[in-house]
Amino acid sequence: MNEFTVGEIHEAIAATRPDEECLVFRDRRLTWSEITERTRRLGNYLRSRGLGCHTERSRLAPHESGQDHLAIYLHNGNEYLESMLAAFKSRVVPFNVNYRYVAEELVYLLNDSSATAIVFHSSFATTLAQVRDLTPKLDVLIQVPDASNAPLLDGAVWYDDALATSSSEPLPPSSPDDLYILYTGGTTGMPKGVMWRQADALTECFAGSREASSIPEFVAAATGRRALIPPPFMHGAGHWLSFGTWNAGGTVFVPSVPERLDPVDIWTIVERERIDFLLIVGDAFGRPLLDELDRNSYDISSLAVLISGGAALSAHMKEEFLRHHPTLTILDGLGSSEAGGQLQHLSTGGNASTGTFPLAPNNHVLDENLARIVQPGDDHVGWLAKSGRLALGYLGDPDKTARTYPVIDGIRYVVPGDRAVLLADNTVELRGRDSVTINSGGEKIFAEEVEAAIKPHPSVFDCVVAGRRSERWGNEVVAVVQLRPGSTVTHDELNAEAARHIARYKLPKDYVFVEQIVRSPSGKADYRWAKSVVDPT
């Protein structure tokens, strides 16, 4: 089986369309040839600083890395994707940094990752300066100017200066064994670095062709698209679809306001640039975008596919999008840092469901004890799993790797933590993440299932569910709700709506109303925050 690297595929596609737009951010309209030159220059700069591969994959355990690691501590912009691509070309491992981390969290991440280099926006220089003495391996600092106008950090080099002083010559070949590391969000525990071989990430994360056996075949499959990527690149969904767009020979558009979701900016770009692919993250993105479509008129007729990844998009919101654009195709993408892409569900007019997915090749439901594959119609609430091309495991953590990637009857699986039922028609019914399951009165209740039941109420803007200790039930379900401005609603009215969708034993025992639900910048629920709200003791 021929295997490829991210960099060689990008350069091969670039050679076929050098003057076409590759990446657009604000007034920067960078062509494929310009991105090639800029990433070569940054890659050569990294190599000039002694960074690269020091121990080949064949001499390492699955949880080990023999390469230098580049922390990407940036808001969205052209430099983020350029840094990733340059790292791939120079045999340096790129990994994501959550830009909301405080100094203590940043110290943990940089030390856990053994980062030797970092590229960062000026607005993060103060936090980075606080941790420099606590991250002894960090040596190469590349600073990207931004609106903060912060001065150059001592020991750092400006991003554009690094490019200007470096060669634009092609770099030596990288290896399909070279790594890509994606740090988990850490919303239910400490973040961990998931290690992917680049060749495996190319197909399982970056939507590269699975059928191509040669680079010309890979290039021939690149038919183009115009994709707008609002979610932060620091989470997988954003940069996965960006590289997937490049692997399709398309153009990546970055919102003009990268620090937050700006619905006016999003729809303005869709209209002006004739965007045909738009990525969102579930209801947290869907609700503000729909509200803006209700307030103002935009020409979104070019939009062919709306992709929701990273969180569920409720069925009632899908129906609202389809009312605005009846020929739109809405794609639910289910995946994880540990498994890559897994399942997809398409919604079109008259078919706007949520929470079920056709079973795809190399995907399975394993039983509760991880001992067997569940057969269709079993009604067993098991674990969603995947086989085939998988990540190597977690950086520096062989024990967690073994738990998450079990071997059953000689086959290696990944079990990211989603509970699921395999229905008789080979449809996977997703129940929710085990890490946020509430055991109440002996019944397992999945937080996401309850959230989806409450959100259709017209007074609800957003909702997150968590468990609270209870003398009677052990734990009880409590919903944290953000209402629409000017709305009022009673607990009984919310339960009446929820009871239309879920069994009564799953209904919240209480509701807590807040001014704003706390979510990650990618739109994912912060369940640790929700737990602190419903059970502060």
Q: Which domain holds residue 490?
A: 441-534
Residues 49 and 167 in one domain: yes
Residue 361 in domain: yes
Residues 366 and 494 in one domain: no
Q: CA triplet 445, 447, 448: central angle to 5 degrees?
A: 120
**pLDDT, tens digit, for every residue of 365-400?**
999 899 999 999 988 889 999 999 999 999 999 999
Residues 360 and 464 in one domain: no
Residues 88 and 148 in one domain: yes
Query: From start to end of 4-43, where are the E strands?
Result: 21-25, 28-31
Contact 201, 6 (CB under 8 A): yes
Of 410, 434, 458, which residue sits at a domain end?
Answer: 434
Tokens 């355990």, located at residue:
61
SS3 content of the chain, % helix, strand, coil (to 5): 30, 25, 40
Residue 284 in domain: no
pLDDT grade for 505, boundaries at 50, 70 and 90: confident
Q: Which two tokens mark 285?
A: 């993105």
- Can you say how many angstroms the Cα of residue 260 is from the centroid of all Cα atoms in its chain? 16
Residue 255 in domain: no
Average per-residue pLDDT in the chain? 92
Residues 366 and 483 in one domain: no
Residue 306 in domain: no
Least confident window among 192-206, 248-262, 419-433: 419-433
How many CB atoms are located within 10 Å of the residue 227 CB? 21
Residues 110 and 150 in one domain: yes
Residue 332 in domain: no
Q: Is 474 left (phi over 0), alpha (psi -120 to 50) or beta?
A: left
> Distance (Å, rounded) from C-alpha 403 to C-alpha 406?
6
> Distance (Å, rounded) from C-alpha 405 to C-alpha 426?
23
CA nearest neighbour of 307 among 284, 329, 338: 329
CATH number of residue 485's parent domain: 3.30.300.30
> Distance (Å, rounded) from C-alpha 493 to C-alpha 498?
9
Residues 27 and 115 in one domain: yes
pLDDT grade for 1, boundaries at 50, 70 and 90: low
Task: Tell whether the model's pLDDT for residue 350 goes beyond 70.
Answer: no
Residues 423 and 447 in one domain: no
Contact 305, 345 (CB under 8 A): no
Contact 37, 12 (CB under 8 A): no
**pLDDT, tens digit, for every residue of 136-166?**
999 999 999 999 999 999 999 999 999 999 9
Residue 409 in domain: yes
Residues 362 and 477 in one domain: no
Of 434, 456, 491, which residue sits at a domain end?
Answer: 434
How many CB atoms are located within 10 Å of the residue 10 CB? 21
Check residues 511 and 524 and name the one with the higher pLDDT.
511
Residues 372 and 514 in one domain: no
- Residue 372: CA count within 13 A, CB half-sphere: 5
Give residue 140's identity as a one-letter amino acid code. Answer: V
SS (H, E, C) 74-119: CCCCHHHHHHHHHHHHCCCEEEECCCCCCHHHHHHHHHHCCCCEEE
Report how many domains make up the chain: 3
C-alpha torsion sign, points 20, 22, 25, 29: negative
The CA-atom distances, in angstroms, between 54 and each of 59, 90, 93, 142 are: 11, 12, 12, 22
How many CB atoms are located within 10 Å of the residue 273 CB? 15
Own/partner pairs, 238-242, CB within 8 angstroms, 24+ separation:
238/76, 238/279, 238/522, 239/80, 239/81, 239/84, 239/96, 240/205, 240/206, 240/207, 240/309, 240/335, 240/341, 241/207, 241/277, 241/279, 241/307, 241/309, 242/81
Task: Tell whether the model's pLDDT for residue 433 goes beyond 80.
Answer: no
**pLDDT, tens digit, for every residue of 416-427?**
988 899 999 999
Residues 371 and 518 in one domain: no
Residues 453 and 415 in one domain: no
Q: For residue 315, what is the enclosing H or E element?
A: helix 315-324
Q: Strands 418-422, 393-394: parallel, antiparallel or unpaired by DSSP?
A: unpaired
Largest CA distance in the chain: 69
CATH number of residue 405's parent domain: 2.30.38.10
Q: Which residues contact 123 (CB under 8 A, 6 or more apart)?
A: 75, 146, 147, 148, 150
Mean pLDDT of 454-473: 89
Residue 316 in domain: no
> Distance (Å, rounded) from C-alpha 76 to C-alpha 367?
40
Of 190, 211, 232, which residue sits at a domain end?
Answer: 211
Residue 470 in domain: yes
CATH number of residue 141's parent domain: 3.40.50.980
CA nearest neighbour of 121 among 147, 95, 139: 147
Least confident window among 69-73, 346-350, 487-491: 346-350
Angle between helices 236-247 and 6-16 (to 10 degrees): 40
Q: Which residues contact 536 (CB under 8 A, 6 or more apart)?
A: none
